[in-house]
Amino acid sequence: MTASDAGTAPWSGRLTGGSGVSVLVATAIVVADMIGVGVFTSLGFQVKDIPSGFSILALWTVGGIVALCGVFSYSELGAMFPRSSGEYNFLGRAYHPAFGFLAGWVSATVGFAAPVALAAMAFGEYAKSVMPDLPPIPLAIGVVWLVSIVQLTGVRHSSTFQLISTILKVVLIIAFLIAGFVIGTPQPISFAPHAGDLAHIVSAPFAIGLVFVMYSFSGWNAATYIIGEMNTPQQSLPRALLAGTLIVLVLYVALNAVFLYATPISALAGQLDVASVAGSAIFGALGGRIVGAMICVGLISSISAMMWIGPRVMMTMGEDIPALRVFSKRSVRGAPAYAILFQLAVANLLLFTRSFEAVLDFIQFALLFCSFFTVAGVIKLRITDPDLPRPYRAWGYPFTPLIFLLVTAFMMYYLLTERPVQSLSGMLVMLAGLLIYAVFRRRPVAAANSHNRE
């Protein structure tokens, strides 16, 4: 089935009256969704097998380049099909509505709720380093509710909150970087290339490290979930994805550089909380609290981004499927209230049951699977529908999509070999979506979509 008869409604969902999402806010969503706790926890395990400053920075640079390769492909699809919901929209257009439903099923149920719960729990744990007497679970639930209330007030207030919280996050990270390089004690490490670096870069630990670096870069596609709310999405989406990913790439490389510059490798090796270790090395006894406060502020913007973009998947599915129609309803201020409340309920359930980590384990493969076929869809559509209007064409095609596909395929292979039960469970969840799709997409739905295409 070609993109022209994919069966998804062409309604863009853009708001009227000039109140759409700007490039700046969309960029903030990308930055906020990408920068969670991954960059603050990965380095300790990387330096155990890659004790080279240049190779570590090369690892994070390669991860950013692969993310950019994904950005170029998603930008082409987003400019072609400017409708909110990310992979649900893209896979439905490029392949078949059933494929899109599988991606939407995962995203709308737990694909965003589980990361929200994880980020909220991390917020609660890091807040303990600032205020030890506060219990983490009530803090986690409180921050999710706070952010959800902001989202329910409408797009304009959500935009302001997202922009301010993300700018504050970036400013705090830059302040930490400056402090690390100015007052930190320099360590005997060089960031210039040496003869042994090539062996590190082509080694198995580098390849495995890249898997976890790519998890830290996940979220580069965040703005594709709100395309329908963006002003001039054909131009704004590529700019937001590119700018957001480049900002995060620079910050990630700089953060790892300052960790290595100001902290002995022996103190970092094998440590999970490398940011606190580096903070103690830079600021002394108060370092842990300073870093904890910085991460807490950053996690608020991350939760806000996910509570914004996640419900848009359910909202768009509700526009296509009568059984889910309630989730398509917007408030007078443009918020998909029922979809937001649904994601809030799932996130709270995962927090109460402490099951979010298990859920994340088994959906990782499914999310990679969807990203893989989304980027492959760019190649497919270039072949099967070469005459479709393409307001933006993927830079570096076909090499950039192929680079992304190769790295993503390696990540899926790694998960299948290292976590076969969880990966196969994730696939079963997607396949269960086929049964639900078969029930939902009856004759009345087809008729509704036929009416929409007219």
Domains belonging to the chain, first-starting first, are: 15-442 (1.20.1740.10)
- Cβ atoms within 10 Å, residue 72: 24
DSSP 48-115: HH---HHHHHHHHHHHHHHHHHHHHHHHHHHHHS--SSTHHHHHHHHT-HHHHHHHHHHIIIIITHHH
Residue with tokens 């994730």: 426
Token reading at 356 = 């979010």
21: phi then psi, degrees, rounded to nearest 5 = -80, 130
The reported pLDDT for the residue numbered 131 is 82
The identity of residue 327, as a single letter, is F
Tens-place pLDDT, residues 193-231: 988 899 999 999 999 999 999 999 999 999 999 999 998
How many residues are there in the chain? 454
Q: H/E element holding 45?
A: helix 43-49
Kindly report the CA angle at 76 between 70 and 79, in degrees rounded to 5? 130
- Number of C-alpha atoms within 13 angstroms, CB side, residue 21? 37
Distances (CA, A) of 403 to 102, 213, 376: 25, 16, 11
C-alpha pair distances (Å), 89 with each of 15, 142, 186, 329: 18, 32, 49, 18
Distance from C-alpha of 2 to C-alpha of 328, rounded to nearest angstrom: 26
**Cα–Cα distances in angstroms (integers) from residue 438 to residues 253, 290, 296, 307, 432, in the given order:** 46, 52, 43, 28, 10
Report pLDDT for 358: 83
pTM exceeding the 0.85 threshold for the entire prediction: yes
**422 with 415: CB under 8 angstroms?**
yes
Whole-angstrom distance, CA of residue 424 vs CA of residue 364: 11
For 123, the token pair is: 């917020």
Nearest to 201, CA basis, from 325, 62, 377: 62
pLDDT of res. 442: 62
pLDDT value of position 4: 36
Spans of the chain, pLDDT less than 70? 1-19, 442-454
Residue 21 pairs in a beta bridge with: 230
